[in-house]
């Protein structure tokens, strides 16, 4: 019997006990006289046993490993969060540093990336140096409100909607759900994290910051609406019996309505006396525009929609400049009509979301 592949498979069958009948007899007869076959069987058996030992060890190791393996529980502790935030900030800085072409900074001009055809107006120019003094960056700043997200920057506190007691404000709704605070949180550092330096020379600015872009600036006349009636409040009567004497003919039916309507809006006139609007506009007259307001249309890099009003200038963020806009002022409060929707403009020099006027009485007055 020759030692070839066929013999190998035959020996395997013999060792596994799969050889039967006449084939087995023939094989045994050959085994008795063939020493080479005896050696082959012996070595094949030894090798098979060694293979089995190795495999058994392997399987046991596998079982032990799997049994002892516990499901990893990854708890995100505040420390890990801080570490992740720091790592993300560093990564951001590195990416920003290498992605900006040096040629942008050789002209001694602002390194602001322009996204629109109109030129951005630089209102502030500051350089930030991080507290650890390992990294200095010159940052061109256009607007303090919504700096670009390419580098961590110092931002003013996120805008808040003030809660006022006046019923008018209570009935107003927030039309923009964009959460500025949340959107900025991941990309900003607090003021404590950096030391602020004044820097006028931006020729060596290393970092280009995408910032808000001023789209256009317009001037609008403001229609002043002022109550035009002589009122007489009978002090001996309860509040529910207040009657308003208007300059026009008095209407008994309306007086009745005043008594029962809870939703009517109370406003305070210039003299500080309370007047109840009865749902009509008879009590108001429009005066000729007495002043103008400057309106700037801004495009926010974070798509912020809102406004900022300091008393003379209204900055509108994310508002289409093609929309028709009219301004009215009632009781020292400014209202903007954008394509038929009235919004309340609050003078507080903060960043505010657009708040729609929903009070029906007030709307009637404004839409008159």
Partner 1 sequence: MFGIGNLQDQTILDRIKDGDEQMLVHLYKQHYTMVKNFVLKNSGDETVVDDILQDSVIAVWKNVNKPNFLLQSKLSTYVMAIAKNLWYKELKKRSKFKLVDETNHLNGGSEEMNLNMDQSIIVQLVQNMDETCKRLLSYFYFDGFSNKVIAKKLNFANSDTVKSKKYQCFKKLQATVLGSYKKEDLI
Structure tokens at 117: 């055809």
Give SS3 for 351: strand
Looking at 42-135, which runs of residues are DSSP E strands?
Answer: 124-130
Residue placing its CB nearer to partner 1 in the complex, 42 or 291: 42
**8: contact with partner 1 by CB under 8 A:** yes
Closest separation in Å from C-beta 26 to partner 1 = 21
Closest separation in Å from C-beta 75 to partner 1 = 19
**20: contact with partner 1 by CB under 8 A:** no
**24: contact with partner 1 by CB under 8 A:** no
Candidate residues 23, 28, 53, 179; the one interacting with partner 1 per rule CB under 8 A: 53
**195: contact with partner 1 by CB under 8 A:** no
CA triple 356-358-360, angle to 5 deg: 145
Size, binding site for partner 1 by CB under 8 A: 30
- CA–centroid distance for 344 within its chain: 23
Give the residue among 321, 237, 228, 326 at the shortest CA–CA distance from 277.
228
CA triple 56-57-60, angle to 5 deg: 85
Q: Each residue of 176-200: b (16+ CB within 10 Å) or e? A: bebebeebbeebbbeeeebeeeebe
**44: contact with partner 1 by CB under 8 A:** yes
In degrees to the nearest 10, what's the CA dihedral of 57, 62, 67, 69?
Answer: 130
**63: contact with partner 1 by CB under 8 A:** yes
Residue placing its CB nearer to partner 1 in the complex, 62 or 197: 62
Contact pattern from residue 69 through residue 108 relative to partner 1, giving x for each residue in contact according to CB under 8 A and a dash for the rest: --x-------------------------------------
Closest separation in Å from C-beta 126 to partner 1 = 55
Residues of this chain, 335-354, that bind partner 1 according to CB under 8 A: none
Candidate residues 38, 86, 303, 312; the one interacting with partner 1 per rule CB under 8 A: 38
Residue placing its CB nearer to partner 1 in the complex, 35 or 76: 35
Closest separation in Å from C-beta 80 to partner 1 = 25
Residue placing its CB nearer to partner 1 in the complex, 47 or 80: 47
Residue 219, CA distances (Å) to 132, 232, 289 in order: 46, 39, 13
Give SS3 for 188: strand
CA distance 175 to 358: 11
Give the residue among 365, 367, 366, 327 at the shortest CA–CA distance from 345.
327
Per the listing, tokens 């003379």 go with 312
**23: contact with partner 1 by CB under 8 A:** no
Q: Quick check: 19 and 27 in contact, CB under 8 A?
A: yes
**42: contact with partner 1 by CB under 8 A:** yes
User: Which region among 64-72, 86-94, 331-339, 351-359 touches partner 1 (by CB under 8 A)?
Assistant: 64-72
Closest separation in Å from C-beta 177 to partner 1 = 39
Structure tokens at 255: 């007086």
**52: contact with partner 1 by CB under 8 A:** yes
The β-bridge relationship of strands 213-227 and 136-141 is: unpaired
Residue placing its CB nearer to partner 1 in the complex, 38 or 186: 38
Instruction: List residues near partner 1 by CB under 8 A.
Output: 5, 8-9, 12, 35, 38-39, 42-44, 46-56, 58-60, 62-64, 66-67, 71
């Amino acid at each position: 019997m020759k030692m070839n592949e066929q013999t190998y498979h035959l020996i395997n069958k013999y060792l596994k006990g799969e050889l039967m009948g006449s084939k087995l007899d023939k094989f045994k007869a050959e085994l008795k006289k063939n020493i080479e076959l005896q050696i082959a069987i012996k070595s094949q058996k030894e090798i098979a046993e060694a293979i089995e030992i190795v495999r058994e060890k392997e399987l046991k190791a596998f079982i032990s490993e799997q049994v002892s393996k516990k499901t990893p529980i990854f708890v995100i502790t505040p420390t890990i969060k801080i570490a992740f935030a720091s790592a993300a900030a560093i990564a951001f800085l590195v990416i920003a540093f290498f992605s900006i072409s040096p040629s942008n900074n050789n002209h001694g001009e602002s390194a602001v990336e322009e996204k629109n055809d109109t030129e951005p107006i630089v209102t502030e120019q500051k350089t930030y140096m991080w507290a650890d003094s390992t990294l200095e960056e010159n940052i061109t700043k256009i607007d303090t409100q919504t700096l670009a997200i390419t580098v961590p920057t110092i931002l003013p506190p996120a805008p808040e909607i003030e809660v006022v007691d006046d019923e008018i404000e209570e009935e107003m709704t927030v039309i923009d759900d964009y959460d500025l605070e949340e959107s900025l949180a991941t990309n900003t550092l607090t003021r404590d994290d950096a030391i602020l330096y004044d820097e006028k020379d931006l020729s060596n600015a290393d970092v280009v910051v995408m910032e808000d872009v001023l789209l256009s600036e317009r001037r609008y006349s403001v229609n002043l609406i002022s109550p035009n009636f002589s009122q007489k409040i009978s002090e001996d009567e309860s509040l529910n019996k207040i009657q308003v004497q208007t300059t026009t003919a008095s209407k008994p039916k309306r007086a009745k309505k005043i008594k029962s309507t809870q939703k009517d809006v109370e406003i305070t006139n210039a003299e500080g006396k309370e007047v109840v609007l009865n749902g009509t506009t008879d009590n108001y007259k429009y005066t000729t525009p007495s002043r103008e307001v400057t309106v700037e249309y801004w495009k926010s890099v974070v798509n912020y929609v809102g406004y900022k009003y300091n008393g003379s200038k209204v900055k509108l963020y994310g508002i289409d400049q093609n929309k028709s806009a009219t301004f009215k002022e009632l009781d020292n409060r400014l209202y903007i009509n954008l394509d038929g929707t009235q919004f309340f403009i609050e003078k507080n020099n903060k960043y505010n979301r657009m708040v729609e006027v929903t009070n029906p009485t007030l709307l009637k007055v404004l839409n008159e």
